[in-house]
Amino acid sequence: SAVISQKPSRDICQRGTSLTIQCQVDSQVTMMFWYRQQPGQSLTLIATANQGSEATYESGFVIDKFPISRPNLTFSTLTVSNMSPEDSSIYLCSVRGGTGSSYEQYFGPGTRLTVT
């Protein structure tokens, strides 16, 4: 399985500002995913990030609010822009690992964001 790290692990930000979250993987992966977990709720996919192409966003998420970079096969960033208290969540990156028939996803430890 892949080992995934995220920075920062947590942050408290003021509304109107932006935060960039980094995700680093210890091996090269094609597909990376960004999820949001709002307080007391389940995980929702924000976007899929493949190296060398534009990220694909899920319904309800837009690039202007959540720009994503994927400069290489081991790294990605998610920016939460113009934050409001409603953006307070845990943001997790994940990668698809295993062989071609496994398709499991491994998750980073998450970034706990509080917007005041």
Partner 1 sequence: AQSVTQLGSHVSVSEGALVLLRCNYSSSVPPYLFWYVQYPNQGLQLLLKYTTGATLVKGINGFEAEFKKSETSFHLTKPSAHMSDAAEYFCAVSEYGNKLVFGAGTILRVKS
Asked whether position 43 contacts partner 1 by CB under 8 A, the answer is yes
Q: Is position 41 an interface residue for partner 1 (rule: CB under 8 A)?
A: yes
Is the bond leading into 8 cis (omega within 30 degrees of zero)?
A: yes
Q: Which one of the spans 13-21, 60-68, 79-87, 107-115 is the region binding partner 1 (CB under 8 A)?
A: 107-115
Q: Does 61 bind partner 1 (CB under 8 A)?
A: no
Residue 23 near partner 1 by CB under 8 A: no
Nearer to partner 1, 18 or 38 (CB): 38
75 vs 27, 35, 88, 116, CA distance in Å? 10, 16, 23, 29
Distances (CA, A) of 79 to 28, 52, 73, 84, 103: 22, 18, 18, 13, 26
Does 96 engage in binding with partner 1 (CB under 8 A)?
Answer: yes
Sole residue written with tokens 């398709």? 103
Q: Which stretch binds partner 1 (CB under 8 A): 17-25, 60-68, 69-77, 88-96?
A: 88-96
